[in-house]
Structure 1
Amino acid sequence: MYRIFIIEDDEKISGALKRSMEKYGFEASCASRFREIIPELESFSPHLVLLDINLPYFDGYYWCRQIRTRSSMPIIFISAREGEMDQVMAIEHGGDDYITKPIHLDLLIAKVKGVLRRVYGEYASMSGLNIPEDVLNVQGLRLNLSRNEMWWQEKKVELTKNECLLAKCFMQQAGQIVSRDQLLEALWDDVQFVDNNTLTVNVTRLRKKLEEIGLSQAIETIRGQGYKLILNNDREESNE
């Protein structure tokens, strides 16, 4: 099920949009904290954003730029502004499409479905143009696999190739024990001649990178079994 995040401060309009999205089989959520929208967006991890221009505190152009520093997810502007320059600015700031108010829901749904098909669906796989899922998001921790970058809240850290591969393995199994053999196989094709201490060094380096962005003790050592990535406050006791 595709997730649609609606950034619209008029509750009547946002509610109508949410109901329409859900009617057509999408999961939808509306922004509620307009001073700081990004945490809500990251928590919901949408596939597409519907974005108004006239918003409290910061306008839609600002939030579009903020989203673009983190994700390439589709953004469709929805605005009462009908001027050609407004539409040009929306596209130049990173928007994918623009719909004017009053909203014709049939047109909106058609545009939403069309963008989703192009980015994630059958059109994305035509002519070998497969678009990889290059961004992982687990409880607000984001990993950009194509850029080797990790984000937590507003902090970013760059990773080495090995650190990125380890982070991917941990995030795909967050909260579960990941064995040392699994991690070794994720890093090296032939693990027979790999010194076991090499893995320990790489995990230690990833831990330090996580600490740099505010996640201390996020990787727990489970003696005799492997490691576990814990991002919430319900940490199980572990032996280092």
Structure 2
Amino acid sequence: MKRDLADFWNLLWEAALGLCAAFAMLNLFAPPQDLPWKPLDLDRPIGQATAAKVDDFEISRVAAPEEVRGVTEACMQVLRDAGVEVERAPDRDDGGFCVVKGAVRITGGDVTPLAPGGLVMQCPLAVRYVIWDRQVLRPAARETFGSEVASVQNYGSYSCRRIYGKEDPGARPSEHARANALDVSAIRLEDGRVVSIASDWRGTGPAGPDARPFLKRLRDGACRVFSTVLTPDYNEAHRDHLHLDGAPRGLCA
């Protein structure tokens, strides 16, 4: 009996050593963007753990002011470490579900400008935008059109409304009501060309046939870092823009 118990503990000890060795190898050789315990680095490719790391900066609707402040500062530091200039925006309460906490503004630095700029958005949404800009948008523009990106045209982020602007009290609040969504209408390239969602999504617009695979690549890349991505393929309400948000639910269409 004692020998059986000793054998059991030896086996358990060997298993523990094996697990430690496996963890050490994983920690040493696996891409950091795939490991949830590694810090978020906006210069690394989108990995298996990237979206979850961004989710760590999400703030609940009932978060206390000190939690909002601490989490938002940590989120802003990630942006600053990546060379993005960002400032805290005032919290906003327009009543009901239209409450914005932990908002920021991207003011410059190593990021493609939004046009119009000065948008107020949740800090995690700003992080998602920077990742998408660096890891998806810029490479796609260079490889497809041989040009850098001058700006991302948009319809804004904050709007106190329900989805699709519905008046029905039973309709779900839009993520725009929390400044947790960005509507992208077009990409302006440095060579002067404009790739528009409304005109070029089908590949028959002024930007030419390359526009369709380019915009689909932007959509597919966005689905890896934003939780909800809606396009003209989804419904008529999104015929002229890409809706990108950080909602708890996920949908890519």
Provide the TM-score with structure 1 as the length reference. Answer: 0.31
By relative contact order (CA 8 Å, sep 6+), the higher-ranking structure is: 2
Larger Rg: 2
